[in-house]
């Protein structure tokens, strides 16, 4: 049996978990919460399951290619990346470390959400200066999963990762 065939799913998952999101390159796909599952069969075939942040996300092809490349670099040549839409991704799946990385990168992380109410952010803390004196400029920012805000104190624009 080859080393690849004997690989533990947890070890393979560690490799996949380090793949960066191409739209927010400080986040891994594990930080983002889109990495759902990794399996390895007795022949060393790897199946990775991912869920996009929203259906139609243009980054999914790049993420799939990056996952395949990261595994090939470790000797895994029989790889399938499967995209599942259900259950739909939610910002609740983001790690706390990922939310902190967003803040450090200058993107306001999603706010906690409740399943019993609709969240409408009236103000966010600026990730640059910390001021709560901010307002939304556009419901859609650099990507559809972010909105564009501006700080009235430091005048800096910033993205906000929407709570979904």
Do 79 and 137 reside in the same domain of the chain?
no
Give pLDDT, residue 122. Answer: 77
Distance CA 35, CA 52 (A): 9
Residue 3 in domain = no
CB 161 within 8 A of CB 108: yes
pLDDT at residue 163 above 80? Answer: no
Q: Which of 54, 70, 89 is where one domain is finished?
A: 89
Do 84 and 103 reside in the same domain of the chain?
no
Do 40 and 100 reside in the same domain of the chain?
no
Distance of CA 156 to CAs 43, 62, 102, Å? 53, 30, 16
Residue 103 in domain = yes
Average pLDDT over the chain reads 88
Number of structural domains in the chain: 2
Distance CA 29, CA 48 (A): 12
Determine the average pLDDT of the residues in 68-82: 95
Residue 20 in domain = yes
Residue 67 in domain = yes
Residue 2 in domain = no
Q: Which of 35, 70, 89 is where one domain is finished?
A: 89
pTM for this predicted structure: 0.77
Do 15 and 81 reside in the same domain of the chain?
yes
Distance CA 151, CA 132 (A): 8
CB 13 within 8 A of CB 3: no
Do 110 and 83 reside in the same domain of the chain?
no
- For 132, the 3-state DSSP assignment is coil
Give pLDDT, residue 115. Answer: 56
Do 75 and 117 reside in the same domain of the chain?
no
Q: Which of 41, 60, 89 is where one domain is finished?
A: 89
Q: What is the CATH number of the domain that holds 73?
A: 3.30.300.130
Domain that holds residue 69: 9-89
pLDDT at residue 112 above 80? Answer: no
Do 30 and 82 reside in the same domain of the chain?
yes
């Amino acid at each position: 049996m080859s080393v690849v065939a004997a690989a533990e799913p947890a070890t393979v998952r560690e490799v996949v978990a380090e793949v960066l999101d191409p739209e927010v390159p400080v986040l891994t796909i594990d930080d983002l919460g889109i990495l759902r599952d990794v399996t390895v069969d007795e022949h060393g075939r790897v199946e990775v399951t991912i869920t996009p942040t929203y259906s139609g996300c243009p980054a999914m092809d790049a993420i799939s290619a990056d996952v395949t490349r990261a595994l090939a670099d470790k000797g895994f040549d029989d790889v399938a990346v499967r995209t599942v839409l259900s259950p739909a991704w939610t910002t609740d799946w983001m790690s706390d470390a990922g939310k902190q990385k967003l803040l450090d990168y200058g993107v306001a992380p999603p706010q906690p959400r409740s399943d019993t109410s609709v969240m409408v952010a009236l103000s966010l803390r600026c990730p640059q200066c910390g001021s709560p004196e901010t307002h939304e400029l556009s419901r859609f920012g650099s990507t559809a999963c972010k909105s564009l805000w501006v700080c009235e104190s430091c005048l800096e624009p910033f993205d906000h990762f929407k709570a979904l």
